[in-house]
Amino acid sequence: MTSKRVVAPYVLILPSFVLAALIVIWPVNELAQIASHSVNRFGQLRDFVGMANFRALLDDPNFIASLWRTGIWTVAVVGGAVICSVPVALVLNEDFYGRDLARVIVMLPWAVSLTMTAIVWRWALSGESGMLNSALLEFGIIDQNIQWLAEASTAFPMQILIGILVTIPFTVTIILGGLSSIPDDLYEAAALEGAGRWEQFRHITLPLITPFLNIALVLNTIYVFNSFPIIWAMTQGGPANSTDILVTYLYKVGFRLGKLGEASAVSLVMFGILLVFTLIYVRLTTSREVKA
């Protein structure tokens, strides 16, 4: 009986462990193989080349540019999303008419595939027949059509804005979870002491939702850093690689140019960066557990 109890949990987790290890962990090994060999476009290994694929990356100005752009992309989207989400979550946490509807609307971008969102925006941003231009012209905000996606100086900021928009739902969700954990009597006590709204926010709300904000920051950083469809479906990293981030660069190098070795090297670089983010996440969540 006792031996059964000891074995049972392992039997229960085994199928999920095997499946996830096979599909998610095994490819990491494949990546290491490909990255350290010369390889054809179907992934057949030739000679061992050591770090040559990594050196080739460092010599490619597009890789360096994509790396920088990934930094800008991640910081701008995650930062923008968190800054927008705090007030949105605070409002959605109030009791007002139509709150359920407002929540549904704010959450809606989450349900739509990023690919579809990107395709719709690509159409809406089209220079000649796009509805954004016609709406802006109508309201007199612009006086001639803007070719939004024709150059990086307008395309990339637009992609960042769309990235923020689709990141808001998840962030709001996490913050709402945090807000709902704050007992009402804290505010009542503060109000009795004569604390105003802003002081209540600064001294009660903000400190209490900080752990949730941290988690939203780290998880969003991982998601946004990995986010492929928005840029791929809108500009494919173009024009002239000027909106490439690491993931689109990786895809282009691997499947357009057929250089799987260099693409694997990019993957491993990303894997290293993601590992750092994950360690931060683990630190944040476990330090909370200790406190609680």
Partner 1 sequence: MNSSKLRRSIICWLALSPVVVVTIFPFAVMLISALKPSTEVLTPTWWPSRIAWENFQTMWVATNFGNALKNSLYVSVLATLGSLIVSIPAAYALTRFDFKGREFYRQFLLVTQMLSPIVLVVGLFRLMVSLGLIDSINAVTVVYAAFNIAFSVWMLQSYFATIPLDLEEAAWMEGAGRAKTLVKVFLPLAVPAMVVTAIFTFINAWNEFVIALTLLRSQDSYTLPIQIFSLVSGRYTVEWHHVMAATFAATIPVAIAFAWLQRYLVRGLALGAVK
**Which 114-173 positions form the footprint of partner 1 (CB under 8 A)?**
114-117, 119-124, 128-135, 138, 145, 165, 168, 170, 173
**Closest approach of Cβ 90 to partner 1, in Å?**
9
Stretch that binds partner 1, among 46-54, 56-64, 67-75, 222-230 (CB under 8 A): 222-230
Q: Is 48 in the site for partner 1 (CB under 8 A)?
A: no
Beta bridge partners of 39: 45
Q: Residues 27, 50, 196, 207: which binds partner 1 (CB under 8 A)?
A: 27
The answer to whether 24 contacts partner 1 (rule: CB under 8 A) is: yes
Interface mask toward partner 1 for 174-213; x: CB under 8 A: x-xxx-xx-----------------------------xx-
Q: Which residues pair with 37 in a beta bridge?
A: 48
Minimum distance between the CB of residue 256 and partner 1, rounded to whole angstroms? 11
Degrees (nearest 5) of the Cα angle 163, 166, 167? 80
Task: Write out the two tokens for 253.
Answer: 């190098």
CB of 148 to partner 1, least distance (A): 13
- Nearer to partner 1 by Cβ, of 27 and 50: the residue is 27
Q: Which two tokens stand for residue 171?
A: 């962030």
Among 38, 147, 228, 280, binds partner 1 (CB under 8 A): 228
- Cβ nearer to partner 1, comparing 120 with 190: 120
Q: What is the token pair recorded at 260? A: 């799987």
Instruction: Name which of 34 and 152 has its Cβ closer to partner 1.
Output: 34
Choice between 139 and 193, CB closer to partner 1: 139
Q: Which two tokens stand for residue 26?
A: 């095994």
Residue 72 binds partner 1 (CB under 8 A): no
Residues numbered 233-262 forming contacts with partner 1, rule: CB under 8 A: 233, 236, 247, 250-251, 254-255, 260
How many Cα atoms within 13 Å fall on the side-chain side of residue 121?
27
Closest approach, Cβ 226 to partner 1, in A, equals 4
Indicate if the alpha-carbon torsion angle 183, 189, 192, 194 is positive or negative.
negative
Choose between 124 and 204: whose C-beta lies nearer to partner 1: 124
Query: Which part of the chain contacts partner 1 (CB under 8 A), choosing from 73-81, 182-190, 192-200, 264-272?
Result: 264-272
Helices 114-124 and 152-180, interaxial angle, to 10°? 140
Whole-angstrom distance, CA of residue 181 vs CA of residue 179: 5
Interface with partner 1 (CB under 8 A), residue from 99, 197, 203, 256: 99
Q: Minimum Å distance from CB 160 to partner 1?
A: 13
- The dihedral through the CA atoms of 57, 61, 64, 66 has a sign that is negative
DSSP string, 106-173: HHHHHHS-HHHHHHHHHHHT-TTT-HHHHHHHHTTS-SS---TTTSHHHHHHHHHHHHHHHHHHHHHH
Site for partner 1 in 4-23 (CB under 8 A): 5-6, 8-13, 15-17, 19-23
Q: How far apart are CA 81 and CA 216, in angstroms?
A: 10
Which letter does DSSP use for residue 195 in this model?
A: -
Q: How far apart are CA 265 and CA 277, in angstroms?
A: 19
